[in-house]
């Protein structure tokens, strides 16, 4: 089975704006042979955006997150020490710590990373979009 880690933007688009996803991303997400994963750091990013008023959610962030995971069969991956240390070691052209953790999560699982982030698509060989 192939594994894919969803970037936070993909989580948000999958949950409410699927037309923002590329055709290939929609195909990957619909494939029953693909195991979908998301880093717990994405929950943090979503909660921060909601608290700052930059993201409107129909429910409290924790309720929304659990509903998202269950609705789409996405497996949450904890930020372990190995992932945290791997995030520091990542050679990325920008310093977004959440992106570093998402990349390190995909690397630790031997998974592809599904993201629209142009910089990551150009830099990380295991990105799919």
pLDDT at residue 91, rounded to an integer:
80
pLDDT at residue 93, rounded to an integer:
79
**Cα–Cα distance between 66 and 119 in angstroms, integer?**
29
Ranges of the chain whose pLDDT falls below 70: none
Residue count (the chain):
129
14 three-state secondary structure: helix
pLDDT at residue 95, rounded to an integer:
78
pLDDT at residue 94, rounded to an integer:
72
- Looking at the whole model, is its pTM more than 0.85? yes
CA-closest candidate to residue 14, choices 41, 46, 44, 50: 46
Q: Which segments of 2-115 does DSSP mark as H helices, in order?
A: 8-16, 23-30, 40-51, 61-72, 81-89, 97-109
Within a 13 Å sphere around the CA of 1, how many CA atoms are in the beta-carbon half?
A: 10
Q: Please tell me the CATH superfamily of domain 2-128, with its number.
A: 5'-nuclease (3.40.50.1010)
User: Phi, psi at residue 37, to the nearest 5°?
Assistant: -130, 155
pLDDT at residue 41, rounded to an integer:
98
């Amino acid at each position: 089975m192939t594994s894919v880690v969803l970037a936070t933007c993909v989580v948000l688009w999958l949950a409410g704006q699927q037309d923002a996803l590329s055709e290939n991303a929609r195909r990957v997400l619909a494939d029953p042979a693909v195991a979908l994963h998301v880093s717990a750091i994405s929950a943090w990013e979503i909660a921060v955006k909601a608290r700052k008023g930059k993201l409107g959610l129909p429910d409290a962030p924790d309720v929304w997150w659990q509903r998202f995971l269950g609705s789409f069969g996405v497996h949450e991956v904890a930020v372990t020490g190995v992932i945290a240390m791997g995030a520091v070691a990542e050679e990325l052209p920008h310093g977004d710590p959440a992106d570093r953790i998402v990349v390190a999560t995909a690397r630790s699982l031997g998974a592809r990373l599904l993201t629209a982030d142009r910089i990551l698509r150009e830099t990380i060989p295991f990105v799919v979009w």
